[in-house]
Structure 1
């Protein structure tokens, strides 16, 4: 289920000037995502970026392939900057996430000197701005947002973003909760259980193992409805939603749950949804991760969010996992963090969203 054609410019020479301002012998080009050495180098850059920003690395080659593989390029483009020896020293990736919202990855080698690092950074920003204009124009927009992230302690990244015209707009708590084996009994059965007129169940599966499309559409509609008034919420088509979530290396269909209201004799009404993934670890047991949790306003106060969280905790315990992670908006007025803290989650590290709006000139 692949969305519309890529709206970006695939050839960097079409969006960068003839002289992008790099030193003699340096070059900027699109990477070959099928080349094992390229993927290995990008993974090393990403992991070094994580270590510098939060103290440890967690990403692997599968995370890089999401950005540079043929499948990923349906909605993305990438740029790398190479030194005279051909070594990749910087990497940028843009993702046409949804209408009006373009995600941007900006990574510069921590081992190059400050002057060269600044020049690499400038090229990535210039390329990203040009790609924002291209995707914004293709979507017929007046303004295209560039949305990028940074670790809260990464002062080098903060300085570059501020200098490039980005504003720090949100803070996010990356939370985790330990899981013990006994918590497999938190709910009667993570596959399906019921409490006070609410049924919590996995999305249905057909004989070939694929999920029921009606259930997937219900998950999408619930999440779209639940996040309508949330920070930076942008409408995402069903095709975009499914394509993006299936790209996650931790994606599993048996980690998608629906909560339905079953009051009276009427048809069950979808009221909440949780999309989970596998959080792999190179050093210990795997964990589970709450990628999305949404409850429709009409169903709030019925314990839907608590029930869905208890379900993924019980499922993780039954699978022998040791943790469940999630992200929460530190500035959210809903007070969701209070529920998470009450259920045992604590903040492990903090990230930030930085935005820049790019005006699309008609005819550009």
Structure 2
């Protein structure tokens, strides 16, 4: 049955009269971005994703791991959009966007169709990996009770809360502060304009895999998957990767990694930096590694003339990360939730 759910014609039979489901293409980028912007403004009062991100997801490098479906009303206007991303073995990211201008009954109907399609797409992605079971990982803004109700109706459960935090960059952030004792922070080695060498990239991947092994919802990601996913982000920059090494032994030991991206405004200008990853191996925690890496990205943002540094943190993190960010001047801008559902591959 799940394979049939991938058929737009079958999905169309479950929609209001005259409505239809279709596969989106390059010509739909602007309209779907506007749809997502309306959803975000209604849900939390501001847009989150930029046009470049929407374009990358639909037509750029980020499209390779994603499947999409759009729902159009009788006039042909896009009223709903769903994405299923093969994020890692056993984990599929599901995003469902419903036009907030629809009445609740119609919106519920559209959401149910899109969540059913996403289940089929997620099962197909898991089957291609040879899996027998997979997690469907979706989310909601904390104030958006309507979308949370639709997630629950689709069989998802609220499992985690995340703080989306931001710190303004100020004049005193110019000039890198001292690192912790025995700690050196550096950018990955690379030639001008080239990507870093395999040794540093592999070290960064290894550190993150070890650092996040005890974190919520950890799923192992291969080196190739890791690189391909990060490079597909339109905000990716090779000079936004830092390694932290302990240098008080015989050889430098990579123990921490921070990977950031450029946050752009509506005109495509880089106005902030966003911490995609900050991980420290367990045996090196408590030596100032995380704070030294944070200082590096803040100093870098100041030197580039950016206004802020943003990041996401697990509200229930067992590592005390939230306390570190609060003590470093970060405050919560808004709150999101993770909702999960598990499905068998048939």
* Bin for the TM-score computed over the shorter chain: over 0.9
Assess if the C-alpha contact under 8 Å between 2:12 and 2:20 holds in 1.
Answer: no
CA RMSD of aligned residues (A): 2.0
Assess if the C-alpha contact under 8 Å between 1:181 and 1:318 holds in 2.
Answer: no
Matched, 1:153 2:115: no
Distance 2:202 2:140 in 1: 32
Would the alpha carbon gap of residues 142 and 200 (structure 1) be closer, same or farther in structure 2, given more than 3 Å must change? same
Distance 2:146 2:60 in 1: 32
Would the alpha carbon gap of residues 90 and 227 (structure 1) be closer, same or farther in structure 2, given more than 3 Å must change? same
Would the alpha carbon gap of residues 213 and 124 (structure 1) be closer, same or farther in structure 2, given more than 3 Å must change? same
| Cross-structure match for 2:252 | 268
Q: SS in structure 2 opposite 1:17?
A: helix
Matched, 1:26 2:19: yes
Task: Kindly state the Cα deviation for residue 82 of structure 1 after the two structures are TM-superposed.
Answer: 0.9
Assess if the C-alpha contact under 8 Å between 2:51 and 2:266 holds in 1.
Answer: no
1:339-358 aligned within 5 A:
339-358=324-343
Please point out which of 100, 116, 119 is paired with 1:126: 116
Please point out which of 283, 292, 296 is paired with 2:281: 296
Assess if the C-alpha contact under 8 Å between 2:67 and 2:85 holds in 1.
Answer: yes
Query: How many positions carry a matched residue from both structures?
Result: 344
Offset from partner CA, 1:44-63 (integer Å, 9 cap, x none): 11111111111111322211
| Cross-structure match for 1:47 | 37
Assess if the C-alpha contact under 8 Å between 2:243 and 2:258 holds in 1.
Answer: yes
Distance 1:173 1:11 in 2: 34
1:8-23 aligned within 5 A:
12-13=6-7, 17=10, 20-23=13-16
| Cross-structure match for 1:197 | 182
Assess if the C-alpha contact under 8 Å between 2:162 and 2:312 holds in 1.
Answer: yes
Structure 1 runs (4+) greater than 3 angstroms displaced: 8-12, 16-20, 282-285
| Cross-structure match for 2:78 | 88
Distance 2:241 2:11 in 1: 48
Assess if the C-alpha contact under 8 Å between 1:272 and 1:293 holds in 2.
Answer: yes
Distance 1:109 1:330 in 2: 29
| Cross-structure match for 1:246 | 231
Task: Kindly state the Cα deviation for residue 339 of structure 1 after the two structures are TM-superposed.
Answer: 0.8
Please point out which of 259, 262, 278 is paired with 2:244: 259
Mean Cα deviation higher: 221-230 or 123-132: 123-132
Task: Kindly state the Cα deviation for residue 146 of structure 1 after the two structures are TM-superposed.
Answer: 0.4
Gaps of 5+ in 1: 1-7, 189-193
Gaps of 5+ in 2: none
So what's the TM-score if we normalise by structure 2? 0.94
Distance 2:270 2:16 in 1: 45
Please point out which of 183, 207, 213 is paired with 1:228: 213
Task: Kindly state the Cα deviation for residue 263 of structure 1 after the two structures are TM-superposed.
Answer: 1.6
| Cross-structure match for 2:194 | 209
Would the alpha carbon gap of residues 303 and 161 (structure 1) be closer, same or farther in structure 2, given more than 3 Å must change? same
| Cross-structure match for 2:97 | 107
Assess if the C-alpha contact under 8 Å between 1:275 and 1:293 holds in 2.
Answer: yes
